[in-house]
Amino acid sequence: MAKYIFVMGGVLSSLGKGIATASIGLLLKSMGYKVVLQKFDPYLNVDPGTMSPFQHGEVFVTDDGAETDLDLGHYERFVDEALSSASSCSAGQIYESVITNERKGVYLGKTVQVIPHVTNEIKSRITRLADQYDFIITEIGGTVGDIESLPFLEAVRQLRLDLGIQNTLNILLTYVPYIKTAGELKTKPSQHSAYKLREIGIQPDILLCRSEKSFEDEIYGKIALFTNVPKSNVINAIDVECVYEIPLIYQKAGLPQIICQHFACEERVINLHDWQVFLDNKTRSEGDVTIAVCGKYVRHQDAYKSVVEALTHAAIGLRKRLIIKWVDSERNLQGDELSRELSEIDGILIPGGFGVRGIEGKITIAQYARENNIPLLGICLGMHVMAIECARNLCGFDDANSTEFDDMNAHPVIHLMEDQRYIDFVGASMRLGAYQCKLEEDSLAIQSYGTEVISERHRHRYEFNNEYRDAIRNAGFKLSGVSMNDLLVEVIEYPHNDYYIGVQFHPEFKSRPNRPHPLFTKLIQASLKV
């Protein structure tokens, strides 16, 4: 029978519950157990696909095309398993199916209530992968005490009753602040989070306590006493410089043993060899590589989470320290100002995005990179920008644009796909998920991937307009990747430069610390001129 681990958060948000959940997953997988991770979010949106990156950070896309919370990105990067839509659930989805059931008459005339109808729906989704895994690790979004989280926590409470203590484990992540003026670590907020959880019937079994400074013995004792958690199960999750060190901190603190003992399952040897190689490369890194990331969400860097991680993996794989220079494309720098802004960078990345703001700035940067042979990777919207720049400056179509930004222009080099023209609902209506793509011989794309057919994840509405294939080719570009049926252009590149490539998909979602994505590795190599 599958064992269930629940990770809940207390005190405040942004404590790294996603990373904690991912780290637990990695440790159990490294013992040879089959694990799956899932996130339950209390907001009423059906999925984060419709939420602004300014508010919610990146939307992570799975192979099966689910638009999910960025924590799924952490799960995939740590546990290195492709997750599916089954790993992402929101209150919006729960209510949507409860209400649909009510309309269908499924509840046979009963009054439909949060308990049991909503909580039953939550429980059935938490347990739906039970027969395929040894451990099901579920992160509950939000912070203990939020009104929205209550039905989810109630479901967690009931699951202990349904499945037994030997099959469920409740972990609470809290924060122990260091108060400078008192020179002390304060345990009260953690005590209160545990009270709050007990108030709704959940006794935490393990506390992961984030702190800036390490605990003295008496702190462990105090937290244990007031939270009713055995002292041995209070773990000091001290701040680290790099999130990939966290699994090792938990391992050192004995978390895998505590989990195995709780479930009475075999304590197997942990094999973190690849992980260790990555961390060793990081320690041994010498010299920097500076990549400019040009976008409009630069003040909200969670919007580019997977891009930043993919750049980091690639740089560390080449034993270089990554420096990111964030360039706000809305400033639309030109001429000397732009050269000054980009004077100390080694390479450029233009990430995905939506809407017209910052577009002209990105087009100028693509032109600057092309004309000065600066390595550039354009992702999705970044690729659109590269095609527009080519059409305007090499083909001479001065007004070329994407119909996303100007639907009246005479040269729509990027336009809407036929099946995107008549949609009624915006939610989950884009081209989403993994698609295969064929790469052209002798292209930078095939050299990077080392294989002819690739599969990458998509999230967009607009596509390269096939009427411009010849013009763009005649301008010296290669259309080096196309869909398996030849109908869609997926990769463009400019072979006169060392590295200038735009991809319609999002390669960043598939980069792993121990397996950097080849397009990112090539970008860093070209930036270092190696």
- Separation CA 464–CA 380 (nearest Å): 10
Q: Is position 380 annotated as part of the catalytic site?
A: yes
Backbone angles phi, psi at 195, to 5 degrees: -60, -45
Beta strands in 218-320 (DSSP E): 234-238, 288-295
- Pick the closer one to ligand GLN by CB: 17 or 458: 458
- 512: DSSP letter: B
Q: How many helices (H) and strands (E) are present in the chain, helices listed first?
A: 18, 23
Distances (CA, A) of 14 to 150, 276, 302, 320, 529: 19, 26, 11, 28, 38
Catalytic (active site) residue 506: yes
CA distance 118 to 95: 7
Rounded to whole angstroms, the Cα distance separating 179 from 492 reads 54
Compare residues 78 and 462 and give the one whose CB is closer to ligand GLN: 462
Q: Which CB, 291 or 414, lies closer to ligand GLN?
A: 414
The residue nearest ligand GLN at its CB is 352
User: Do residues 168 and 207 touch, judged by C-beta distance below 8 A?
Assistant: no
| Owner of token pair 């099959």 | 167
Nearer Cβ to ligand GLN, position 47 or 205?
47
Which residue in the list 384, 411, 458, 506 is annotated as catalytic? 506
Picking from 471, 521, 518, the residue whose alpha carbon sits closest to that of residue 492 is 471
| Given 58, 67, 463, 508, the catalytic residue | 508
Rounded least distance, CB 38 to ligand GLN, Å: 24
Please identify, using beta-carbon distances, which residue of 6 and 520 lies nearer to ligand GLN: 520
Tokens of 225: 């006493």
Residue 396: DSSP 8-state: -
Reduce the DSSP state of residue 170 to 3 states and report it.
Answer: strand
Min CB(508)–ligand GLN separation in Å: 11
Rounded to a whole number of angstroms, the minimum distance from the CB of residue 180 to ligand GLN is: 43
Residue 217: CB partners within 8 Å, gap ≥ 6? none
Q: Kindly tell me which of 353 and 375 has the beta carbon lying closer to ligand GLN.
A: 353
- Specify whether 56 is catalytic: no
At its nearest, how many Å lie between ligand GLN and the CB of residue 59? Answer: 9
Least distance (Å) between residue 351 CB and ligand GLN: 7
Q: Where are the beta strands (DSSP E) in 254-297?
A: 288-295
Alpha carbon distance 26, 72 (integer Å)? 13
- Three-state secondary structure string covering 437-488: EEECCCCHHHHHHCCCEEEEEEEECEEECHHHHHHHHHCCCEEEEEECCCCC
Cα dihedral 19/309/322/237 (nearest 10): 0
CA–CA separation, 183 and 66 (whole Å): 47
**Cα atoms in the 13 Å half-sphere on the side-chain side of 328:** 6
Q: Report in angstroms how near the CB of residue 461 gets to ligand GLN at its nearest.
A: 4
What's the closest the beta carbon of residue 33 comes to ligand GLN, in angstroms? 35
CB 504 to ligand GLN: min, Å: 8
Q: 3-class SS at 186?
A: coil
- Which residues form the interface with ligand GLN (CB under 6 A)? 352-354, 380-381, 404, 459-462
Compute the least distance from the CB of residue 49 to ligand GLN, in Å. 11
Cβ contacts of 422 within 8 Å, gap of 6 or more? none
- The smaller minimum CB distance to ligand GLN, of residues 317 and 412, is found at 412
User: Please, which residue, 133 or 354, has the CB nearer to ligand GLN?
Assistant: 354
Residue 103 to residue 318: CA distance in whole angstroms: 57
**Could you give the CA distance from residue 133 to residue 87 in angstroms, rounded to a whole number?**
13
Report yes or no: 437 and 503 within 8 Å, Cβ to Cβ.
no
Q: Which residue out of 380, 390, 395, 437 is catalytically annotated?
A: 380
Closer residue to ligand GLN in complex, CB, 18/295:
295
Q: Which residues are catalytic?
A: 380, 506, 508
